[in-house]
Amino acid sequence: MTIRRLFLGAAAMLIAGPALAQAPAPAPVPGWAIGRPEGSTLAPHAPRLTVTPLDQVPVSAIRLPPGFQAEVYAHGIPGVRAIAEGPNGTLFAGTRGIGRVYAITRNADGTTRTRIFAQGLTQPSGLVMIGNSLYIFAVNRVLRYDNVEANLDSPPAPVDLTAAYGLPTEQEHGANHHWKFVTLGPDGRVYTNVGVNCNVCDFDRDKFALLVSFRPDGSDRRIEARGVRNSVGMAHHPVTGELWATNHGRDWVGDNNPEDSLLRVRRAGEDFGFPFCLGNWADPEYNRGRACSEFSQPAALLGPHTAVLGMRFYTGTMFPAQYRNQIFIARRGSWNRSRLSGYDVVVAKLDAQGNVTGVEEFLTGLRDDANQRFLDRPVEVHVLRDGSMLVSGEQMGAIYRITYRQ
């Protein structure tokens, strides 16, 4: 019944949606295409929204440093992205195109069981657990399910927090970068992204291209960072509590510019420069005469168009000590580039002061350079309590588990 209500709610929202045509001041070309060179046929890759049989999940192609192994933790989960873990160990998984939130539990024999927990939502990609409550951030909707792990089969109606959060709507975004990543800060606040409402454009810098935080009830919005084009991964440093985030660079400035980036937010409200600059790179069309030195610099550059997404600090003890408090980052992989880049997981190595000293490959093998194909697209990393690490593969609907053995 809840699913039906959700379904009807989503349908009503679609019907009530007052028309993208009424979005303010339509650009002369579509927002996503601004800056696109004539003749390019680059376009986003097709997602896969059907179940991939286990024997076609490309776990055997995965390459890891010595001592690490990859296995399939769960599969048959089309579109799996964000992972949030409940106090009793239930994994909730968000999606975009297929509109579902899954609940994954572990059976006594070590196998997993996947339920469709919610469906019919528009891009429910943002999930966060606070206590026993699951918060789902879909486009234009924020829903809270209380005591969620006790009600996996028949969840009660959620509390609708959409109005309380008051995030920009799909219409205000012009359908650009309106899906969410969400994480819980050590201060008990909810951190999320408000992506820019175009590929690149002049926009309200107090409204878009932000990292923001709220109290869990949606009150007390605070701008944590400005000039962040779109972040789909954030985490707080386990020791310092500083907010770190991944950030997508704009499209259509060639194969090698700008780079995706890793941001370290040292103080609330600092400005990372979009659309004017990224690091010391000045946008060729939107710099507006600004000096890049006036903006905060990224902690690391993560490659052009690599689509950096989920990031987590490794806080477990299973992996060698050198990985502790280092950042694992999923790179979903490029589309706006003539040759593929990303499709892997990298580690940003931090020194004691929190400076990034290098970025190393960790999980590779999913990008086939010779044939310009990819086998899966890593989106989220999640550290389990036993110290193993999960990586969600959106394209093949699988969750991989990475373990270490001496």
Partner 1 sequence: MILRRFLAAAFLAAATCGAAVAQDARRGAELAAPCMQCHGANGRSQMETIPSLAGQPADFITIQMILLREGLRQAPAMAPFAANLPDRDIEDLAAFFAALPPGPPDERRPRDPALITAAEALVGPRHCATCHVADYGGRNQIPRIAAQREEYLAAAMTQYRDGTRAGPDTQMNGAVVGLSDADIAALAHFLAQK
Residue 266 or 373 having the CB closest to partner 1: 373
Within 283-322, the residues that bind partner 1 by CB under 8 A are: none
- Give least dist CB 196 to partner 1, A: 13
Tell me which stretch binds partner 1 (CB under 8 A): 22-30, 242-250, 263-271, 311-319. Answer: 22-30
Q: Which residue has the tokens 């009424």?
A: 22
Tell me which stretch binds partner 1 (CB under 8 A): 118-126, 152-160, 214-222, 380-388. Answer: 118-126
Query: What sign results for the dihedral spanned by CA atoms 369, 370, 373, 376?
Result: negative
Which two tokens mark 51? Answer: 């179940």
Residue 293 or 371 having the CB closest to partner 1: 371
> From the CB of residue 84, how many other CB atoms can be counted at a distance below 10 Å?
24
- 54 touches partner 1 by CB under 8 A: no
Within 371-400, the residues that bind partner 1 by CB under 8 A are: 373-374, 395-396
Residue 120 or 254 having the CB closest to partner 1: 120
- Give least dist CB 38 to partner 1, A: 8
- 15 touches partner 1 by CB under 8 A: yes
H or E segment to which residue 344 belongs: strand 344-350
> How big is the CA angle at 210 (ends 389 and 329), to the nearest 5 degrees?
20
Amino acid code (one letter) for 226? R
Q: Is 19 exposed, middle or buried (0-12, 13-18, 19+ CB in 10 A)?
A: exposed
Task: Tell me how far CA of residue 48 lies from CA of 45, 78, 79, 393, 395, in angstroms.
Answer: 9, 7, 7, 11, 5
Q: Count of alpha carbons within 13 Å of 357, Cβ hemisphere only?
A: 8
Residue 100 or 236 having the CB closest to partner 1: 100
- Give least dist CB 343 to partner 1, A: 12
Among 1, 2, 5, 48, binds partner 1 (CB under 8 A): 48
State the first-to-last Cα distance of the chain, in angstroms, to the nearest integer.
49
Q: Which residue has the tokens 């659309």?
A: 275
- 339 touches partner 1 by CB under 8 A: no
Number of residues counted as binding partner 1 (CB under 8 A):
54
- 45 touches partner 1 by CB under 8 A: yes
Residue 97 or 387 having the CB closest to partner 1: 97
- Give least dist CB 153 to partner 1, A: 19
Mask for 144-183, x = binds partner 1 (CB under 8 A): --------------------------xx--xxx-x-----
- 98 touches partner 1 by CB under 8 A: yes
Within 24-43, the residues that bind partner 1 by CB under 8 A are: 26-33, 36, 40-43
Contact between 98 and 116 (Cβ < 8 Å): no
Residues β-bridged to residue 68: 404
Tell me which stretch binds partner 1 (CB under 8 A): 95-103, 240-248, 267-275, 344-352. Answer: 95-103
Residue 183 or 197 having the CB closest to partner 1: 197
Which two tokens mark 291? Answer: 């000096």
- 44 touches partner 1 by CB under 8 A: yes
- Give least dist CB 79 to partner 1, A: 9
- 100 touches partner 1 by CB under 8 A: yes
Residue 116 or 150 having the CB closest to partner 1: 116
Q: Is 220 exposed, middle or buried (0-12, 13-18, 19+ CB in 10 A)?
A: exposed
Q: Is 115 exposed, middle or buried (0-12, 13-18, 19+ CB in 10 A)?
A: middle
DSSP 62-128: -B-STTEEEEEEE---TT---EEE-TTSPEEE--STT--EEEEEE-TTS-EEEEEEE-S-S---EEE
Among 7, 72, 316, 403, binds partner 1 (CB under 8 A): 7
Q: Where along the sequence are the contacts to partner 1 (CB under 8 A)?
A: 7, 10-11, 14-15, 17-21, 23, 26-33, 36, 40-53, 56, 78, 96-100, 119-120, 122, 170-171, 174-176, 178, 373-374, 395-396
